[in-house]
Amino acid sequence: MSKHSIWILIFIVILFFFIYGFSNSYLSRNLSNLAYVLSLGVDKGENAKLKITAQFSKPSAISGNNSSSGESSSIVLASSEADSIFSGLTLINSYIGKEINLAHCSVVVFSKELAESGISQEIHSLINNEEIRPGANLVISNCSAYDYISNATPNLESLTSHYYETFSITSKFTGYISDITIGNFFNDLSGKSGDSTAILGGLNLTAKSDEESSSQNSQESSSQNIETSPDKLIAGTSTISGERGIENLGLAVFKNDKYCGNLTATETISHLLINNKINSCIISIDSPLKENSKIEIQVSPEKKTKISTIIENGGLKIGIKLKLAADVITLENDTDYENNEVLELISKSAESYLTNEFNKYFNKVSREYSVDIDKFCFSSLKFFPTEKDFKDFNWKEKYKNAEFTTDIDVNVVSSLLVTET
C-alpha cells in the first residue's frame, strides 16, 4: 500500500470517529431535546425545605416565531418540592422528559419569606453551577416566587426573555430599582465587608384584582397599602395596572444572607446616586415660587460621587459630596425660567430636599438596619495597615453610630424647551 493510500485511510478513520462521537452529543443536546429555563423561583416548601418553580419557553418561542399574543401559550411552569434547588430541578426534569438547561435563565426569584431565613446555601449552589450565568438578576418578591413568575408576562416585548433583559436598563433612567445579579450578591457574601441588596418585586393591582375577584371584599382589600409617593413606594404597593401582573420597585436589603428590610423608590435613588449607578431620575420638590406647590425636576450626575471617611477619637465620620445638574419639568405660570434668580431658588430647594432624603436614608441603613450596602468600609481601609487592625476597629459597630455629612450642589440649568410662561 502506498504512503498516499495510508494517509487517506487514516483520514477516513479519524473522520468516522469524529462524526460518530459528535453526532451522539448533538442528538442528545439539540434544541428539541432541551428545556430552557427563563426564570427560576424558590419558595419555602410545605413537604420539603424548598419549593422550586421553573418557567420554560417552548423552542418555537425562543426562535422568535411566536407573536406576543401567543406568548402565554409558549410558556410552561413546573414546580416541585425538595431539600435543594437541584434536587427539585431533577424531579422537574423527570416530569417534563427533557434535559433542563439553565443557560438562558435571566432571573432568579426568592420569596421574602424564604429570604428572611437566609439564602446563602442556595446562592452558592447556583454560582457553582456551570450553566447558570452570574449575570442573572436576583429578585426578592413580597409575594411567593411562584406567583411572581406566573404573572411575569410581557406586554411591550414579544418574548418573556426580552422583558427580563430590561431590568438592567430600567434602573438607569428611573432610579427606582437597581441592576443586581446573583454574581453581585455572591461577591458581597464572599467579601464579608459590605452588605447585599436585591431587586424588590411583587404583584401589582392587576394580579391582585384577579386573585381577589372571587372575594366579596375584593374592592376594599385591593385598595389597601396603596402608595403614590415615591418616598413610601415599594413593589406591591403602587397603582400600576396593565397586562403584566408584576412590578419591581425599591430594593431588598440583606444583613449577611438574611433579608432585613427594604428601600423605597426615593431611598433607592439615594443609594444609586452614592454608587454612581444612575443616569437620570425625576424628583418632586417644594416649589420656592408658589406656596403649597410642587415642582418636578430631572436630575443627572455631573461628576462622580466623592466619599470621604474620617476616624477621630474612635468614632467614624462619613462625608458625601454630590454635584448634580437638573432641568425643570413642571412649569409655573408667569415665570421666566432663564432668570438666574429663579433657577437659583429652585436649585436651593432641590439641595434642601435631597439633603433631607439622604439624612433619612443614612438613618435607615446605618441605625435601623445596621448594614453597609454602600461599601463605605472600602474608603476607610487606608487607615488600617493590616486586616487585623481593621477587624479590631470593629467597623460594623462603629458604622451604627457614624456621623454622616452631605455636600450637595444642584445646578438647575434650564426648563428643557419652554423658557417662559
Backbone angles phi, psi at 271, to 5 degrees: -60, -45
Spatial distance between the Cα atoms of 165 and 137, rounded to a whole number of angstroms? 9
* Domains of the chain: residue spans and CATH: 33-279 (no CATH), 281-421 (3.30.300.210)
Query: Mean pLDDT across the stretch 232-256?
Result: 92
> How far apart are the C-alpha atoms of 329 and 296, rounded to whole Å?
5
Q: How far apart are CA 37 and CA 77, in angstroms?
A: 10
| Residue 76 pLDDT class (50, 70, 90 cuts) | confident
Report the pLDDT value the prediction gives residue 230, as an integer from 0 to 100. Answer: 92
CA-nearest of 309, 274, 280, 295 to 380 is 309
Directed axis angle between helix 182-191 and helix 120-127, to 10°? Answer: 120
Q: What is the DSSP letter of 102?
A: -
What pLDDT shows up at residue 223?
Answer: 42
Which of 252, 250, 255 shows the shortest CA–CA distance to 118?
A: 255
Is the pLDDT higher at 307 or at 192?
A: 307
Decide: 41 and 52 in contact? Cβ < 8 Å: yes
Query: Residue 241: what pLDDT?
Result: 86
7 CB contacts (<8 Å, ≥6 apart)? none
Letter string b/e over residues 290-322, b meaning 16 or more CB atoms within 10 A of that residue's CB? eeeeebebbbebeeebebebeeeeeebebebeb
Under the banding of pLDDT at 50, 70 and 90, the label for residue 247 is very high
C-alpha cell at 291: 406656596
Strands 137-141 and 50-57 turn out to be unpaired
Structure confidence at residue 290 (pLDDT): 87
Of 33-42, 197-206, 213-222, 257-266, which gets the smallest average pLDDT? 213-222
The confidence band for 1, taking pLDDT boundaries of 50, 70 and 90, is low
- Under a CB-based contact definition with an 8 Å cutoff, are residues 328 and 295 in contact? yes
pLDDT 10s digits, 319-349: 999 999 999 988 777 777 788 898 999 999 9
> What pLDDT score was predicted for residue 222?
42
Q: How confident is the model at residue 165 (pLDDT cuts 50, 70, 90)?
A: confident
Give the pLDDT confidence of 176-197 residue by residue, as tens digits. 999 999 999 999 998 766 799 9
221 pLDDT higher than 50: no
Q: What does the pLDDT read at residue 340?
A: 87
Q: Give 242's pLDDT tier (boundaries 50, 70, 90).
A: confident
Q: What is the mean pLDDT of the chain?
A: 85
Least confident of 34-48, 76-90, 103-117, 153-167: 153-167
Q: Tell me, what's the pLDDT at 166?
A: 74
Amino acid at 23: S
Average pLDDT over residues 368-372: 95
pLDDT at position 70: 45
pLDDT above 70 for 372: yes
pLDDT digits (tens, 9 = 90+) for 277-296: 999 999 999 999 888 899 99
pLDDT in tens, 8-65: 677 676 766 666 555 554 444 555 678 889 999 999 999 999 999 999 977 654 444 5
CB–CB of 56/71 below 8 Å? no
**Tell me: the pLDDT tens digits for 374-421?**
999 988 888 999 989 988 999 989 999 999 999 999 999 876 555 555
Give the pTM: 0.86
